[in-house]
Amino acid sequence: MDAIVLHGGASNREELKIKVQKFAEEAINAGSALDAVIHAVRLMEDDPLFNAGTGSNMRIDGSIQMDAAVMVPGDFGGVINIEKVRNPVLVARDVMLRSPHMLLAGDGAVQFARKMGYEEHDPTTERAIEKRERVIKKLKNGEIPEYYHPEFLKEFLCDTVGAVAYINGEFAAAVSTGGTSLTLRGRVGDSPIPGAGIYAGEQGAVVATGIGEEIIRRMLSLKVYEEIGKAPLEEICKRHVAEFGTVPVGVIAISNEERCAVSNLNMPYGIAKR
């Protein structure tokens, strides 16, 4: 059965679930598995309520640097710290399909985007400005607790958006993120790191969201993928999420027969089948 699973970030923003479900129902009809996940992520990048594309967070210095990646069995493309583009996921797709590389970063990623015809776009929103101002105020007042303090992270969480799909016998995954205001310029999270924030192979596809540093340390998406078929998919995901304790994390995964979305927060997600 063809299916797609979307998530809008491990952000406790339950009000986004209806919107994400609507996006899932639209994206499943976009074409191939790769087309579907890219369409789904693009919809969320264009919606300022999500932390990706337009709506991305400003970093401490006021810049907006975004990461995105796409993956299919045997191939991968990603952009790291790209700036001033509307849809980083489309640039990531072109890195995979239209370049000899797998990852492009910073100015090089921007230059590549321009060569591919992507116009300059300012993703700044009032919400991003206000969020950064709150971070700066807390820094000046000495109110920033330990970085991994769970309650604090829920306020300044580095969300991603993502999708996994199984369509016409093919798997694909895509992710995009605007990072978090509580980071230095140049910081890279889990989203564009194969095996950490994203993985797709012949057995399925997995995407993670949450605290990028912890997801990278555990290579969460690869670990979930490697266990596909050894136990029920939801059981696998729940066990790996539980290992994070109170550190916010979520994962979506799909195989040829199963699909699931698991998080230790109220992660908005949508599932569509046909």
Return the active site residues: 160
Q: What share of the chain is helix, strand, coil (3-state, %, to 5)?
A: 35, 25, 40
Sequence-separated (6 or more) residues with CB below 8 Å from residue 87: 42, 45, 46, 53, 118
Does residue 164 sit in helix, strand or coil? strand
Q: Dihedral of the CA atoms 154, 41, 192, 173 (nearest 10)?
A: 110
How many CA atoms, within 13 angstroms, populate the side-chain half-sphere of residue 24? 26
